A and B are shown apart, each in its own frame.
Chain A
């Protein structure tokens, strides 16, 4: 039983570019949440997808957008990258939104 998987593992971009990160939830899970974890900080909630819709959103600008597919996998898109977007991006899946979350290994994004 595969856990939460994320791709790519590492990514280097330059300011102004756009990036897409991908997440496959744990088998049987239908809810995907995305978090940003800056160096030395705890994860910050970006948004949550359930039934292919964004259900909840944290304090992140519209440059951060996402999508959930019928197979429950999800993408996180970030436009007009800033240096401050450099972070570990974590995906977490759960069965419904309020149950235990399982985290993937994350995607390390570096913006130069």
Chain B
């Protein structure tokens, strides 16, 4: 069974601070996705990383895929209250690309 562990589980910071959240596994994934979910809504895809060592930037968000494709990180620069939400990582099953395994997420609160 492929598992994804996310840390920290909760993170509360002040506006303007930087932060990094992690997504780790003992299994190799062909790709990993990062989602943001707000209360009462479904997850919204932020990015997909595919190549080991890949770095993708989305405005103030930087996503990195580990060289061995077993882990990923999300770094937010100068966090804003609008970044508040649940950040989830997910990866396709090794045996069925259509079945996604999700981590339990990091709940981020950015205080003004």
Contacts and interface: CB of A to CB of B under 8 A. Distances in A.
A48 B99 contact: yes
A105 B98 contact: no
Interface string A79-102: 000000000001010101110111
A55 interface: yes
Contacts of B97: 97-98
Given A42-B88, A43-B100, A97-B98, 13 more contacts: A4-B42, A33-B98, A33-B99, A33-B100, A42-B103, A50-B98, A56-B96, A56-B99, A58-B99, A100-B48, A101-B45, A103-B43, A106-B42
A79 B90 CA distance: 28
A107 B23 CA distance: 27
Interface in B83-97: 88, 90, 92, 96-97
B98 A44 contact: no
